[in-house]
Amino acid sequence: MYGTTGKILRVNLSTGELAIEELEEDFYRLYPGGKALAGYFLLNEMSPNVKPLAPENLLVIANGLLTGSPVATATRYVVSARSPLTGGYGESEAGGFWGPELKMASIEAILITGKAQEPLYLWIQDGQAELRPAKHLWGRSPAEVQADIRAELGDEKIRILQIGIAGENLVHYACITNDLRHFNGRNGMGAVMGSKNLKAIAVRGRQRYQTLAYDPDQLMTLGRKLSQEVKKHPSSADLQDRGTPGLVEMLNAGGILPTRNFRQGTFENMDNVKWEVYEKELLTARRSCYACAVRCKREVAVDGEVSPYGGPEYETIGAFGPNCGIDDLHLIARANELCNTYLLDTISTGATIAFAMECYEHGLISPEDTGGLNLRFGNGEVLLPLIEMIVTRTGFGDLLAEGSRRAAEKIGGDAPFFAMHVKGQELAMHEPRGKYNVGMGYAISEIGADHLVVTHDPALANPDSMAFKSARPLGITQAQPPRSLSPEKMEHFYILEKWNSFEKVVGMCFFGPAPRSFIPPEDVLTAVKVVTGWEFSMEEALAIGERATNMARVFNTREGFSRKDDTLPERLFQPLENGPLAGNAMRREEFEQALTVLYGLKGWESQTGQPTRERLEALSLGWTTGLMETK
């Protein structure tokens, strides 16, 4: 088998047992990494109704098929488990350097179950693994933990994945970092690690990637070509120049910059948080992930000190800035720094604070509830204290640490209306009332509101645009307006969801393949061919993506999820308050009709959203049908 050693490391933290197994190529071709491998193991090795923070929850960490190859943006791995935030299938991807290092250490995936009696960390070196004490690392900052582990093991090249105090304290949206700067942000995977008393996974690998590839020469040629393409393509060149913070101004212009908890679509003080301010006042350098010429990561100085954790991305600026009515970019950078020190997901943290602000303004919570904090929109003074309270689960922070859905249920009254979540996960900073497929992605995603399910609508609105033309090999033939949920638009969705899911299986970033960015679909297929030696078609790629999505859907069906959970916050069916889209709303009836059309395309039952036996068998997933009958 080429492209992988096929080795899986099993870790039982309750017993301390470690074991390595090898996957067969026939199996790997159906589940070739990332979310496909994760979905397979979660369905096969975990019983239904396991509590997310119980020892029996299975934590799967899996590299993508192409992760570690010299193909730009192929750096990613998935962390997957039952999510404490949603109660459903949990998944979060990250780039950086840790995944490629795991590949060079000859391990493709790690399956972790049980709970250690005392904090431990896992040390993997060139195919060997051991568990080591981590009590001395518990409660310390990521920078300290990384330095201490490297010193303890005597190697500065060790790559470290770890949780922070938020994960230790089981905050439901605690995240995971690797190399201090790259985050498995969503779905609370840090809390799952924390519940297992697993502080970190340190990795060192010395294998050369070329020894794994089927055709190393062609692979290097392709890698060089794509790296040269980065500066030529407008999308990747812009990502290199400004990174995601450049989105603030563009979304504001379109009236789709979530503002004051999604009440509004434009922010009157946007000029204070846009890229030009970031570039002038925060930026110190541009950084990259492994072998990626895009270099979209920003390094910043916070209060005059260069941060070891990287600068705020667009999502973080949006969540702590306009969505909380805050226009101080330095304060937003401090909030980012604090979240990255404690390892909290910045999207859910900012969105949950915005939810609390709206509850406060409506009198649903009082200064007595908040410990005296005045939670009015725009009051930046509360931001940092509130993050501290969430992480330490102090006072009102303990309630917010559960996420906005659970907090709303406890607050009662109209609070659930103000909780902008799907399946318990807070919306990312993209306003669906201006791009309806993004809304459908929020609604139907198995992990709860996720903005990376499909290419965003504007990219495919003009048939003469570069992005639209680059989507043709996927089977996209007709341009569609952003504010439409027509049957033709659902066909777009169905194709794009499969393609994006495939990207996650192979470990490529959203900022790599077309139509979002610069790598033509044909080159992605070529990369798979030269890495594995497989004859590989677009049809097989899309089937892999669809298979992975269906396993996640089966997982959720088994846990009791159904059509009622594929919905959107009620606010999105009401008019936006300001900006160029003022007065616009999604329409409930149109949304429900589109959902039925989409279920039909996906081979899911219209009443339940459950995959049909026929579709599962067509995807070689016949073995999963019995799993849904046990619910």
Partner 1 sequence: MKITLGGQLSYQLPGHPRHLEVQLEAPARLEEVLTGLGILLPEIYLVVVNGELVELQTALVSQQDEVKLYPPVDGG
Q: Which residues bind partner 1 (CB under 8 A)?
A: 233-235, 237-239, 241-242, 244, 246-247, 249-251, 253-256, 313-314, 428, 430, 435, 438, 451-452, 455-456, 458-459, 461-467, 510-511, 516, 580
Which one, 255 or 380, has the nearer CB to partner 1? 255
CA distance 44 to 195: 22
Residue 112 backbone phi and psi in degrees, to 5: -120, 125
Nearest residue to 149 via CA among 161, 139, 167, 166: 161
Residues 6+ apart with CB under 8 A from 223: 69, 70, 71, 72, 291
Between residues 146 and 236, which has the closer beta carbon with respect to partner 1?
Answer: 236
> With respect to partner 1, which residue has the nearer C-beta, 173 or 275?
275
**Strand 120-125 with 198-204, pairing:** parallel
- Other CB atoms within a 10 A radius of the CB of residue 506 amount to 29
State the minimum distance, in angstroms, from the CB of residue 254 to partner 1: 5
Closer to partner 1 by Cβ: residue 131 or 237:
237
For 257-287, what is the HEC assignment? Answer: CCECCCCECCCCCHHHCCHHHHHHHCEEEEE
Give the residue with the Cβ less far from partner 1, 185 or 397: 185
Q: At what angle do helices 404-411 and 346-361 cross, to 10 degrees?
A: 20
* Nearer of residues 235 and 501 to partner 1, judged by Cβ: 235
Please, what is the minimum distance in Å from the beta carbon of residue 114 to partner 1? 36
Closest CB to partner 1 among residues 466, 538: 466
CA nearest to 54, candidates 157, 194, 154, 256: 194
> Smallest distance from the beta carbon of 244 to partner 1, in angstroms?
5
Both tokens of 450, joined, read 């996720």
Q: How far is the CB of 249 from partner 1 (least distance, A)?
A: 6
- What's the min distance (Å) between Cβ of 253 and partner 1? 5
The nearest distance, CB 239 to partner 1, in angstroms, is: 8
Assess contact for 290 and 96: CB atoms under 8 A: yes
Q: Judged by CB, which is closer to partner 1: 108, or 315?
A: 315
Residue (461 or 601) nearer to partner 1, CB = 461
CB 243 within 8 A of CB 509: no
In the complex, the smallest distance separating the C-beta of residue 602 from partner 1, rounded to whole angstroms, is 21
Beta strand pairing call for 120-125 and 283-287:
unpaired
Taking CA atoms, 1 is separated from 4, 42, 111, 323, in Å, by 7, 24, 21, 49
Question: Least Å distance between CB 36 and partner 1?
Answer: 22
Measured CA to CA, the distance from residue 81 to residue 102 in angstroms comes to 19
Q: Which is nearer to partner 1, 365 or 495 (CB)?
A: 495
Smallest separation, CB 313 to partner 1 (Å):
8
- Looking at the Cβ atoms of 274 and 547, the one nearer to partner 1 is 274
Q: How far is the CB of 579 from partner 1 (least distance, A)?
A: 9
Rounded Cα gap, residues 511 and 235, in angstroms:
9
What is the C-alpha to C-alpha distance for residues 117 and 489, in angstroms, rounded to an integer? 52
Report, in Å, the least distance between residue 464 CB and partner 1: 4
Q: Are 79 and 189 in contact (CB under 8 A)?
A: yes
123 or 511, CB closer to partner 1? 511
Shortest spacing between CB 242 and partner 1, in angstroms: 8
Closest to partner 1 by CB, 407 vs 476, is 476
**How far out from the chain centre does Cα 188 lie?**
10
* One-character DSSP codes across 493-532: HHHHHHHHHHHHHHTB-TTSBTTTSSB-HHHHHHHHHHHH
CB 167 within 8 Å of CB 340: no
Pick 23 or 256: Cβ nearer partner 1: 256
For 163-312, where are the alpha helices, taking DSSP H only?
Answer: 165-168, 189-195, 216-229, 234-241, 247-253, 275-281
Residue count of the chain: 631
CA–CA separation, 588 and 594 (whole Å):
10
- Whose CA is closest to 356, among 380, 376, 331, 385? 376
Using DSSP's 3-state secondary structure scheme, residue 302 falls into strand
Q: CB 107 → partner 1: shortest distance, Å?
A: 29
What is the per-residue DSSP string for 10-47? EEETTTTEEEEEE--HHHHHHS-BHHHHHHHHHHHHS-
The minimum distance between CB 544 and partner 1, in angstroms, equals: 22
CB of 438 to partner 1, least distance (A): 7
**Residues facing residue 255 across a β-bridge:** none
Output 193 or 283, the one with its CB closest to partner 1: 283
* Contact between residue 359 and residue 365 where contact means Cβ atoms under 8 Å apart: yes
Which regions of 356-468 does DSSP assign to beta strands (E)? 421-422, 425-426
Task: Give the span between the Cα atoms of 384 and 189, in whole angstroms.
Answer: 23
CA distance 216 to 199: 36
